[in-house]
Amino acid sequence: MKKMSFVLAAAGLMTLAACNKPADNAAENAAANVENAADNLTDAVDNVSDEAANATVNATENAANATENAANAIANSTNAM
- What's residue 26's pLDDT? 78
- What's residue 59's pLDDT? 93
Q: What is the DSSP string of 1-44?
A: -HHHHHHHHHHHHHHHHHSPPHHHHHHHHHHHHHHHHHHHHHHH
Domain ranges across the chain: 49-81
The C-alpha atoms of residue 65 and residue 72 are separated, in whole angstroms, by: 10
- Give me the average pLDDT of each 10-residue run along the chain (81 residues): 68 64 75 87 85 90 92 81 64
